[in-house]
Chains A and B, each alone.
Chain A
Amino acid sequence: MNVIEIKNLHKTYNTSQVAVKAVNGIDLSISKGEFTAVVGPSGSGKTTFLNMVGGLDRPTSGEVFVDGVNIWELSSRKLIDFRLRNIGFVFQSYNLIPVFTAKENVEFIMQMQGWDAKKRFERTKKLMDEVGLGDRLSSRPGKLSGGQQQRVAVARALASKPKFILADEPTANLDSHSTENLLDIMERLNMEEEITFIFSTHDPRVMKKARRIVTIEDGKILSDERKEAEVAH
Chain B
Amino acid sequence: MSLLDRAKRLAGLPVRVGERIGLLDYVPAGIAEGEAPPTHVFRWDLDKTYLRTEFDSFGDLVKSAMEEASDKQAYPGATALLRALKQDGHRVCIVSGSPTQMRQVLVAKLALDGIEYDEFVLKNNLKNILRGRFRSMRAQIPYKLPAMLQSRIGATAAAETLFGDDAEADAVIYCLYADVIAGVVSLGDLERVLTASRAYEDDAARILDLAQRVPKGNAVRRVFIHLDRRSPPLGFRRFGPRLVPVFNYFQAALVLYQDEVLTARQVIFVALEMLDSGQYELGHLATSVQDVIRRGRVARDTALRLTEEASEAAKSGALSGRSDLPPFERIAEAFRERVRSLGGLEPFKFEPMEPLDYVRLVDEEHEQRRARRKQGMG
Query: Do chains A and B interact in one complex?
Result: no
